[in-house]
Chains A and B, each alone.
Chain A
């Protein structure tokens, strides 16, 4: 069965420091991975997806199939990055549909 593990419930860094939020997955198929973010009092929203290979708000994430990881990184954290971050794995349920399986989330706090 597919599983997403985020080993850190809480992560604190100071402004300007690098940050890495860890995500590991288990899945027998070809994985598609995502990061979602929830800022205080806002709804859950998509941050980035690995197939896009994009950088959003300075964040990047690289899929490492050998280590089955999809860690989220930012070289210089900002206070506005403080939020709950969820890693998610897309699983095909049939030929034309699928669903996301979410990790437990990591609360990132960036101190001034």
Chain B
């Protein structure tokens, strides 16, 4: 187990296209989080899974964003009809139940919408 993996590392897409990112958490971790980070800002919460259940989704997230964690293992984040404002680093993190706030982060996927 090499930690939290995210794929792809970089994605350049044209405005209006759909994109999907994948996150593979540490296998023993049942909690999985998605965050977004723009230049000069801290990570901003997007959504959270406990096993396969999506327990919280940020109100800032438009309906164009959707996330899944079908078997409680890997997760995907899809953005439909991308806009230039979606350009950001998308971070995935996982943690164990007992480690409140103790996240292990992936390297992130950098999205550029042109």
Q: Specify the chain B residue showing the minimal Cβ separation from A49.
A: B101
Q: Is B65 an interface residue (CB 8 A)?
A: no
A100-B33 Cα distance, complex, nearest whole Å = 10
Query: Separation in Å of the B12 CB from the closest CB of chain A?
Result: 20
Number of residues from B at the complex interface, CB < 8 A = 25
- A contact face: mostly helix, strand, loop, or mixed: strand
**Set B35, B55, B104: member contacting A94, Cβ < 8 A:** B55
Query: Separation in Å of the B55 CB from the closest CB of chain A?
Result: 6
**CB–CB A93/B55 < 8 A:** yes
Chain A residues whose C-beta falls within 8 Å of the C-beta of B48 in the assembled complex? 93, 97, 99
**CB–CB B105/A43 < 8 A:** yes
Interface bits B30-65 vs A (CB < 8 Å: 1, else 0): 010101000011111100101000011000000000
Contact A32/B45 with A44-B91, A99-B56, A104-B40 known, Cβ cut-off 8 Å: no
Chain A residues whose C-beta falls within 8 Å of the C-beta of B33 in the assembled complex? 99-100
**CB–CB A98/B100 < 8 A:** yes
**CB–CB A102/B107 < 8 A:** no
Contact A100/B103 with A44-B91, A93-B55, A93-B56 known, Cβ cut-off 8 Å: yes
Q: Is A59 an interface residue (CB 8 A)?
A: no
Q: Is A26 an interface residue (CB 8 A)?
A: no
A102-B103 Cα distance, complex, nearest whole Å = 12
Chain B residues whose C-beta falls within 8 Å of the C-beta of A49 in the assembled complex? 101-102
Residues of A in contact with B (beta carbons under 8 Å apart)? 4, 6, 9, 32, 34, 36, 43-46, 49, 86, 88, 90, 93-94, 96-105
A-B contact pairs, 8 of them (CB 8 A): A32-B100, A43-B106, A93-B48, A93-B56, A96-B97, A97-B55, A100-B101, A104-B40
